[in-house]
Amino acid sequence: MKKANFIVSGVFAAFAIFIIAISMGYPPSNHGVPGPGMFPILIASLILISALVLAIQTLRMPKSKDTAIDLKSKNVLNVYITMAGLIVYIVLMPMIGFIVATSIMLVLYIKWFSKRPWWKCILISVVFTIAIFLLFGSVLNVPMRFGLLI
């Protein structure tokens, strides 16, 4: 937990400095009316202060409260693989088309997660995909036709 808190506080502080650096270049206030940069600088300063407070609180945190955070176990690796797979899915979907890309994505994940026989995975995936396609595309008029295939 301690390590995580320091990372959170460090990342946010860096983010705040980045925001302030950009906002400094924005047009200045005009006749007492704050310009576009004022609020970003104000809020980023608030982030800096909170990050500092968090860091100090963490330093003074008793060891007993320090719980470990799991970032490397096999279970968490599965999450990383899932994230990577979804990134590939949303990059390819606009090119391939909704029904094909989504069915394939679903089949692979359901097979991996549930270990059911292939035919069941394929059936569930295709039926669900088509249902979503029709619900959003036809009933709710969201344009769902794109990509090379369907």
Partner 1 sequence: MLLEVLNSVFSFQILLFIVLGVFTGICIGALPGLTATMGVALVLPLTFGMEAIPGILLLIGVYVGAIYGGSISAILLRTPGTPAAAATVLDGFEFSKRGESGRALGISTVSSFIGGVVSVLALWLISPQLAKLALRFSAPEFFLLAVFGLSIIASISGNSLAKGVLCGALGITLSFIGIDSITGYPRFTFNNINLLSGMSFIPVMIGLFAMSQAFTTVEKIFTPDQVTQKISKVWPTRSDWKVILKHAPISGVIGTIIGIVPGAGAEIGAFVSYGQAKRMSKHPERFGTGIPEGIAAPEAGNNGVTGGALIPMLTMGVPGDAVAAILIGALTVQGLQPGPLLFTEHTTLVYSIFLGMFVANIAMLLLGLSSLKLFVKVLSVPKAILTPMIFVLCVVGSYAINTNFFDVGVMLFFGILGYFMQKADVSVSPAVLGLILGPMAESNFRRALLMSEGSYTIFIASPIAWVFLFLTLLTLLGPLVGDALKKKKSTM
Partner 2 sequence: MKKLLVLLVLLSLVLGSAFAQGTAETATVSYPTGPVSVIVPYSAGGGTDLVARALVDAAKGSFPKNISVENRTGGGGAVGMSYGANAKPDGSVITMITVELVTLPHTGTGAGLYYDQFKPIMMVNSAYSAVTVQANSPYNTLKEFLDAAKTKTMRVGNSGVGAIWHLAAAGLGKAANVTFNHIPFDGAAPAITSLLGGHIDAITVSYSEVASQVAAGNMKVLAVLAPERIAATPNIPTAKELGYDVAIGTWRGLGVPKDTPQPIVDKITSIFTEAAKAESFVKFMNGSNNIIDILDSAAYGKKLAADNELFKALITELGLKQQ
Between 69 and 135, whose beta carbon lies closer to partner 2?
A: 135
Contact present, 150 and 97 (Cβ < 8 Å): yes
In whole angstroms, the minimum distance from the beta carbon of 37 to partner 2 comes to 14
Q: How far apart are CA 104 and CA 96, in angstroms?
A: 11
* Residue 134 interacts with, from partner 2, partner 1, none (CB under 5-8 Å by kind): partner 2
In whole angstroms, the minimum distance from the beta carbon of 93 to partner 1 comes to 8
Q: Is 32 left (phi over 0), alpha (psi -120 to 50) or beta?
A: left
Q: Which of 6, 124, 147, 150 binds partner 2 (CB under 8 A)?
A: 124
Q: How far apart are CA 122 and CA 108, in angstroms?
A: 9
Does 51 bind partner 1 (CB under 8 A)? Our answer is yes
End-to-end CA distance of the chain: 47
Site for partner 1 in 57-86 (CB under 8 A): 57, 69-71, 75-76, 78-79, 82-83, 86
